[in-house]
Structure 1
Amino acid sequence: MNQLSQETSPYLLQHASNPVNWKAWNTNSLAEAIQNNQLIIISIGYSACHWCHVMEHESFEDTEVAQTMNAHFINIKVDREEHPNVDAVYMKAVQIMTGRGGWPLNIVALPDGRPIWGGTYFRKEEWINALEQLHKLYQNNPEKMIEYAEKLHQGIETISIVQKQDSKDELDQNRIKPLVEKWKKSFDLEFGGMARAPKFMMPNNYQFLLRYGYQTNDSELLDFVNLTLTKMAYGGIFDTIDGGFSRYSVDMKWHVPHFEKMLYDNGQLVSLYADAYKLTKNPLYKEIITKTLGFITRELTNKKGGFFCALDADSLNEKQELEEGAFYVWQKPTLQKLLKDDFELFSVVFNINNFGFWEKDNYVLIQNQSLEEIAILHKMEVLELESKKKSWEQILFQEREKRSKPRLDDKCLTSWNAIMLKGFVDAYKALKDDNYLEIAIENADFILKYLWTPEGNLLHNYKNGKSTINGYLEDYCFVIESFIALYEVTFEEKWLHNAKQLTDYCLEHFYDEKNQFFAFTSNLDAALIAKHFETEDNVIPASNSVMSNNLFKLSIYFENIYYKETANQMIKNIISSIDYPSAYSNWLNAFLNYSEQNKEIAFCGSDALDYNSAINELYLPNIILAGSENESNLPFLKDRFVAEKTLLYVCQNKTCNNPIALSEEVDENLKSLL
């Protein structure tokens, strides 16, 4: 029988009424396969996945398909967001077998879990035929399957191994320039992003390029990043009506998105736009930040301060049928009726024309000109056009609220919550909206209360008061990063001590001395068929790259040599093997910590937080920030406090200049003192 009705995952619950005898991923399900000597079907997806829904409707809701699956296989459904470790291992297998990956991810494995066949989306007949052939082969010639499984298993185990480098090698910053020059050849200089479709936003790519362009005074890079951020903000990939970004664009111009909205994308993009705003003061970036955070607070926040995962790509259309993008698209007669005399001007701003047309009489709103350009062409004031645009968006928002909303994935994941927490902190730094800091602290308290156990480990998931999965490295690395970010704006040292405690837990339960990286799963968890070390940055930075950056910062705050040496060795192991820089951009960002421009600064004194606020408004990616309004026992700050003074310490490579006494006269020139 189908056992998924007992689960909390929205994705698994979507399949609870399928005629397939689904089981969840757990030790009992895996043990049953061994006991019965049955092949395993492992089907992996997530709640907002459009093609997962399509395959469910075509195959998993079909009794003929279910008959084949139930007769010969142990059928296991996996929510990739709850079990990214399982997804990572079997994704490697499918990529080895087929040269590509994606979701839904469907694998057939031996009873011991070793994969023998797999792919992504399959049509009904193709799926049935493949399963019947695999069953016959296992019945008649199991040795052939076992031999293939062993070879594939060896490939999975070796695919992510990174060669260790001599610890005496220098961290030479000159290695970065040729990688960036190679990368530039892939830039789309018309619409930004990479010159291919589909286009993923890849925030960590642009965080690095922004920082590197800034630190090297490369105006070409800075212009490209600003082009990309502007075109993404103009595109249909950004929901200008209610805020928030969709998953990716299916075309070159950021126009038609894959309409699912994911928490982790939006958290990272808020951080990216906040940094870009600090550097440029572009009001468009401020608009993106405020709209996106408004969307998060309205649609993806629970009553305890936790953040939900996602909104589905699909929603009910006028025929009450699930259709991708139905909630977001517009037809011309509807817009004409709603906007009346303003429709023609609206059509110019949002391209209700061939440029903005999608399919089936539907338009996805997209800009291709700035409001300043349009105002000049129509001989009107920019402020008037801005006011009209806000009014139009409000009208469309109210109309759209009458539609059936996309389905909500209402589980909370620790890693994604921490990414969004940091987004609120970074927005607070840039815009000084106290509400953003309050939300960030409330979310941090949610993590402390519901997702960090008295035994010292983090939990990965939360829904309806239940947390069922032990934390992965991604949970630790992003929580540590977000706690460091909270310290940077509050100077409350409890956040640093929490970060250190979690780091020490990682070193005990995740760090692999032999490979010199952190494993993705704790040594307290049951082992999978292969150990996974996440080292390539993707739409979310690799957990190891985030940990290397965390260790570097904490080594300075706590003057911890082991942290620093561990981070250094991780960087050395990766940097020498980089060929495709966009897959290692967060590593390159961490590598920039070792440039001669990197400094540590501390404000000590009664006005420390005021100066801290001023410095946080500036784009200074090469600065590590500390401070205290009172005496501090934090190693980096120890003995730096002097009563009735506010002192600035500027340090580099464990050497600090003489402290500078701060006053109102030098406040405006604060940046020049660094």
Structure 2
Amino acid sequence: MPNRLAHETSPYLLQHADNPVDWWPWSAEAFDEARERGVPVLLSVGYSSCHWCHVLARESFEDEQIAAYMNAHFVNIKVDREERPDVDAVYMEAVQAATGQGGWPMTVFLTPDAEPFYFGTYFPPAPRHGMPSFRQVLEGVRGAWTDRRGEVAEVAGKIVRDLAEREMSFGSGEVPGEEDLAGALLGLTREYDASRGGFGGAPKFPPSMVIEFLLRHHARTGSEGALQMAQDTCERMARGGIYDQLGGGFARYSVDREWVVPHFEKMLYDNALLCRVYAHLWRSTGSELARRVALETADFMVGELRTNEGGFASALDADSDDGTGKHVEGAYYVWTPRQLHEVLGAQDGELAARYFGVTQEGTFEEGSSVLQLPQQDELFDAQKVASMRRRLLAARAERPAPGRDDKIVAAWNGLAVAALAETGAYFDRPDLVDAAIAAADLLVRVHMDDRARLSRTSKDGRAGANAGVLEDYADVAEGFLALASVTGEGVWLEFAGFLLDQVITQFTDPESGALYDTAADAERLIRRPQDPTDNATPSGWSAAAGALLSYAAQTGAEPHRAAAERALGVVKALGPRAPRFIGWGLAVAEALLDGPREVAVVGPEGHPLTKALHRTALLGTAPGAVVAVGTPESDELPLLADRPLVQGEPAAYVCRNFTCDAPTTDPDRLRTALSS
């Protein structure tokens, strides 16, 4: 019989709706139940494409005896971290503070007042590698709760007090300057893996936000070292197993330092960020590899993640049926030499094995290999490679596909809107721009109410109950601003303004200018989450600073620029010390130091010179430059005000720090004005 999760919309919660565990969704009623019964709360946090979440569910939550024990002695709450990032952040902070590490599935035991007192992540069904079994953990917590209640209460109270005291330093409030950004670049250089690309060791995550900083720093200062790190990392990722060499798109991370074996889940946010990164790399260098990867990743998002409502689904699972009924990580993506031969024949199968690095020993499990590009492309016939790819992709499509998490997350769709709008504009792909518009329209229609308040998620065209957090407002505004620059439609700038007004009034500390992850009127947790550091996506803090700065450049809105500058004080504090974890903040700081430049293109719609100037403006590498395009009579975009044609011809106006260049009708002169 289904439990309470059967009434939820989250695909992750629905995966647990048939568990024998009597799960509750996060709710006041669940904690009331714990108080009434006098039992602790077991909080389990995960997400639908999490491999080890599935393992824990199969081993323990689907076990009748373990479920009966959980039901008898706990109130069990299941949370989708993608729906409730605030709940996840608060308790993950506690887990990391107590254990020095974190991850998902996250298991936290709470008092009925939601105070944590014992933590963990995955627990096996039997003791191994020094870990207790899940049953032993349950029995130990129950024993402590029953026999040492006072001690448990003391521990919980101390944890909550410690969390309340963990206020971070927000710096002096000054904006970062040249020395701060140079210090950040030096720190990145020290941590850079020169032989493999990327930063640090295994597991290795795509450093999307850091690469954006490196590209902007190169554009502003001419630093060849910054560009080299960005180029080499992008090439190693694109040629490695973390990139889907047949279908396009990136997996979540690499388990090794060489980018060979990925954790196979594919997340919307990674692909949106990396699509934009590779498009910007192409804009800076003209790299053919960057162009191909940007377009393939865009096509992957549209082809594999787009929903019937026009938005983009959250993720594809890492696991899938291996054809024998067994759920296996990576089964959809890996190949053996024999499988290549079966699809391509002996000769082409051998060629494909060399091209994609498929060996008899294998690079993954049980002799299978993840496809890579270990050799230079020019060693192989391009038409032959294209043919092999098509045939292998068609054969792979016959395999059982990974599951898809169909919920729409506002923030991640905002990132996708920005990536698809820019990629479509750069490469003359109006279908990609149309996809960005459709997703943006869904965000307005379904996620935004008449007060410009956002819902965090939706599914099947219906908004979820959870309120948007800072990253939702910031990333959706970022997407709308990119769409305004690409389409010249002022309505997107207007919607961005509505959201950024909420950032100022609901998420910003009026005294310090610091930003919170939850709104002032959001549900109260044991701590109001607040974190300026990037994780898998730009922090809401840095993303808000970037969107506020761009909006101010487009509109001249001084309060928004002031809010952006106040928010960037934390970049001055953290940039030189922890540059890998505040990459987007550093990228925004580059835009601030450059102006950012404001570009107005005026001319009749459809005129060849208007289009040429507009395209040139969008391809300018000046960090954070904003672009407006329209007719001289347009009143939709403030940058176009009082910008006439020049001798009857379309023209571009470039301004920076309250100073404007003479207008130009020459795309080459405009290109020079928007370069370093």
Structure 1-normalised TM-score? 0.94
> What's the offset of the Cα at 1:170?
5.8
Kept in 2: contact 1:59–1:124 (CA 8 A): yes
Counterpart CA distance in 2 for 1:118 and 1:265 is 28
After superposition, the Cα gap between the structure-2 partners of 1:46 and 1:171, relative to the gap in structure 1 and judged at 3 Å, is: closer
Does 1:218 find its partner at 2:223? yes
Aligned to 2:146: 139
Alignment of 1:576 onto 2:579: no
Shift in Å at residue 293 of structure 1?
A: 2.2
Deviations 1:105-125 (A, max 9, x none): 000011110110111111124
Distance across 1 between alignment mates of 2:673 and 2:468: 42
Aligned to 2:641: 638
From 383, 401, 409, give the equivalent of 1:387. Answer: 383
Per-residue deviation, residues 419-460 of structure 1 (Å, max 9, x unmatched): 111110121232121111111111111111111112321111
Stretch deviating more after TM superposition (103-112 or 336-345): 336-345
Paired with 1:500 and 1:37, the residues of 2 have a C-alpha distance of: 48
Aligned-partner Cα distance in 2 for 1:318–1:599? 55
Question: Structure 1: which amino acid aligns with 2:642?
Answer: D
Partner of 1:154: 161
Contact kept in structure 2, 1:44 and 1:78, CA below 8 Å: yes
* SS of 2:119 mapped into structure 1: strand
| 1:546 counterpart SS class | helix
SS of the residue 1:342 aligns to: helix
Correspondence for 1:627:
629
In structure 2, distance between residues paired with 1:33 and 1:531: 23
Residue 275 of structure 1 contacts residue 430 of structure 1 at CA under 8 Å; is this kept in 2?
Answer: no
The answer as to whether partners of 2:247 and 2:300 remain within 8 angstroms in 1 is: yes
Amino-acid identity (%):
34
For residues 26-65 of structure 1, what are the structure 2 equivalents within 5 Å? 26-65=27-66
Secondary structure in 1 matching 2:45: strand
Counterpart residue number, 1:266: 271
* C-alpha distance in 2 between matches for 1:499 and 1:564: 14
1:576 Cα deviation after fit: 2.1
Alpha-carbon deviation of 1:605?
3.0
- The one-letter code matched in structure 2 to 1:648 is A
Code of the residue aligned with 2:591 in structure 1: it is: N
Q: Is the 8 A contact 2:175 2:566 kept in 1?
A: no
Structure 2 partner of 1:113: 114
Number of aligned residue pairs: give it: 658
User: Which segment is superposed worse, 596-605 or 51-60?
Assistant: 596-605
After TM superposition, list the pairs within 5 Å mapping 1:493-508 onto structure 2: 493-508=490-505
Partner of 1:589: 587
Superposed displacement of residue 628, structure 1: 2.7
Query: Hey, what's the Cα distance between the residues in 1 that align with 2:165 and 2:214?
Result: 30
Equivalents in 2 of 1:573, 1:58: separation in Å? 43
The residue that corresponds to 1:380 in the other structure is none
Task: Label 1:671 to 1:465 Cα distance change in 2 as closer, same or farther (>3 A).
Answer: closer
Between the aligned partners of 1:649 and 1:122, the Cα distance in structure 2 is 61
Query: Which of 385, 399, 402 is 2:395 aligned to?
Result: 399
Letter in 1 for 2:375: Q
Q: CA deviation at 1:577?
A: 3.7
Q: What is the TM-score of this pair, normalised by structure 2?
A: 0.94
SS in 2 for 1:426: helix
Per-residue deviation at 1:18? 1.1
Asked whether the 8 Å contact 2:208–2:273 carries over to 1, the reply is yes
SS at match of 1:576: helix
Residue number in structure 2 paired with 1:521: 518
Give the equivalent residue in structure 2 for 1:325.
330
> Does the C-alpha gap of structure 1 residues 59 and 558 become closer, same or farther in structure 2, counting only changes over 3 Å?
same
Moved runs in structure 1, 4+ residues, more than 6 A?
none
2:668 partner letter: E
CA distance in 1, matches of 2:118, 2:134: 12
From the superposition, tell whether residues 211 and 170 of structure 1 become closer, same or farther in structure 2 (CA, over 3 Å): closer
Alpha-carbon distance in 2 for matches of 1:453, 1:515? 29
Would you say the 8 A contact 1:85–1:520 is kept in 2? yes
- After TM superposition, give the deviation of residue 504 of structure 1 in Å: 1.0
Does the CA-based 8 Å contact 1:10-1:410 persist in structure 2? yes
For the 8 Å contact 1:429–1:617, the answer to whether it is kept is no
Name 1:454's counterpart in structure 2. 450
Rounded to whole Å, the distance in 2 between the matches of 1:305 and 1:542 is: 25
Change in Cα spacing, 1:170 to 1:224, as seen in structure 2 (3 Å) is closer
| 1:189-338 matched pairs, under 5 angstroms | 189-338=194-343
* Contact 2:175/2:572 (8 A) holds in 1: no
Structure 2 Cα separation of the partners of residues 124 and 161 of structure 1: 38
Q: 1:432 aligns with which of 428, 432, 440?
A: 428
Q: CA deviation at 1:475?
A: 1.1
SS at match of 2:117: strand
Identify unmatched segments of 5+ residues in structure 2: 127-132
1:612 aligns with 2:614: yes
